[in-house]
Amino acid sequence: MITRKKYRQTVIGFHQPWTLIASERGISQLLYPPEVATLAGLNQDVAHMVEDRSLFDEFGIIELLEQYFAGVPVSFDKVPLDVEGTKFQQGVWMALNQIPYGDTWTYKQLANAIGKPSALRAASTAIGRNPLPIVLPCHRVVGSNGTLTGFRGGLQMKKDILALEGVIHLEAVGHERFRF
């Protein structure tokens, strides 16, 4: 595997800093505020990455994220990506782009969309490892009963992101630790 030089840039979303990571080929990660601190503590590489806004401006990602967090519907389809994952994971992540802004799909709908209806759990695991939340909209995937379920940033963040898109009819379910 070829190691590429990585760059980072901070953007503000929901009044908190989110960190973008990219190579010259494209965007590779978007880290939630708590993930940034955790990764910086575990991986000194994040703290030592070069901050280069021009690269992110070239990709157009900063302006798109600023618009998105301001409540403007945007498409990230033209942003170059450099995500690492298995072929299956990448297929799941790219399928997330099929879910329209302001809409939700169930995990079953997503598994059907990738042509693997029996791979429901594998698809949900891949969604949980999505390196580019918002850009690859994993927040738009909900439980089969139409409720909020699992989200690395927490259900409150998922609820807030969906509300930004006008989706406000969902309830939280599951284990108490996931409730807000």
Q: Is the pLDDT of residue 11 over 90?
A: no
The structural domains of the chain, ordered by start, are: 7-69 (no CATH), 87-178 (1.10.10.10)
Cβ-contact 63, 53 below 8 angstroms: no
Helix (H) / strand (E) element for 140: namely: none
Q: In sequence order, what DSSP letters do the residues of 77-131 get, joined into one string? A: TTS-B-----HHHHHHHHHGGGSPTT--EEHHHHHHHTT-TT-HHHHHHHHHT-S
- Rounded to two decimals, the pTM is 0.86
**What does the pLDDT look like over 72-92, one tens digit per residue?**
999 999 999 999 999 999 999
pLDDT of residue 116: 94
Q: Is 138 an annotated catalytic residue?
A: yes
Residue 120 has, within 13 A of its CA and on its CB side, a CA count of 10
Q: What is the DSSP letter of 47?
A: H
Rounded mean pLDDT of the chain? 85
Selecting among 99, 134, 138, 162, the annotated active-site residue is: 138
